Amino acid sequence: MVLDLRAKLDANGYYDDFEVERVAKIETDPSATQARLSSAMAPVADRLLKRYRAAQLARADALGSGDEPVAQAQKDIMDALQLFKGDMGAYVRLYAFLSQMIDYGNTDIEKRFIFYKRLIPLLEFGRERETVDLSKVVLTHHTLRSAGRQPMNLRDDGKGDYRLPPMDAMGTGDVQEKERALLREIIEKVNGLFAGQLTDGDQLQYVNGALREKMLENPTLIEQSASNSKEQFANSPDLREALTHAIMDALEAHTMMSSQALGSERIREGLLDILLGPAQLYEGLRAQATGADAASRDPG
């Protein structure tokens, strides 16, 4: 169940391995400072809070204009983010309980536990501030030690064997079927673009996480998506330049894939096809443009 939750959370593409590693390294470093932890957590939380706020504003704008399909699409984004937060909480609770009895033998599982535990308090969806409220992030250090094997006499009479009923599946629910279908389509299209031993999760985080998130922050692309059709937007030279910059920015965290993408126009064109298709980059940029426009009209 821990592994299933980890796969489900990774598949959302809301963070990448580099961000998890950075937080875990700071958390377990005796010489780390509060400022380092805050600077590591702020970009992740800020990105997710802005995504929720943009969807919230876009939904309100769509409801005001009677555009039900757009309003529902934005609500799906908000629901998915709430679901993501709930699933992180389920992971933290399940890991904290089972780690008392199980040696997972995999540090990536504990690193995510540390990362999720730090991220959850920062995601106050619906109560966003101008800046991320980092007052709930307080640097502490922890140690793990073996207390040996302890008897667990669960029966009152201390006799016989008593088996606990197994846990049911954890998590707050399934991601919407439409979103799962889009994620599957991304994986199918990315497969074959890159050489080397890469998991579906690696490729999904790279395209739907690192590249898409970076391009969603590009003000030029946001502006162009608001004033052009998707076909016109796809032919923008700024789009290809933004992809190259995103690939270069992701080089440290995703060295193998970024190096291959920088050296191959075929891969870059394939990535653009995925970003404009199942990754819904254009739709995400349009939502941000709509949200920004709604915010500028909001006197609050």
> Comparing C-alpha atoms, which of 227, 207, 245, 246 is closest to residue 290?
227
Confidence of residue 132 (pLDDT cuts 50, 70, 90): low
Residue-wise pLDDT tens digits, 234-268: 888 888 888 888 888 877 667 778 888 888 888 88
22 has pLDDT over 80: yes
What residue spans of 100-252 are helical by DSSP H? 107-119, 177-190, 200-204, 212-216, 219-227, 230-234, 237-249
Domain locations along the chain = 1-139, 176-300
What is the distance between the alpha carbons of residues 172 and 88, in angstroms, rounded to a whole number?
10
The interaxial angle of helices 68-98 and 177-190, nearest 10 deg, is 80
198 vs 260, more confident: 260
How many CB atoms neighbour CB 138 within 10 A?
Answer: 11
Contact, 136 vs 119, CB < 8 A?
Answer: no
pTM value is 0.49
Please check the confidence at residue 192 and state whether its pLDDT lies above 60: yes
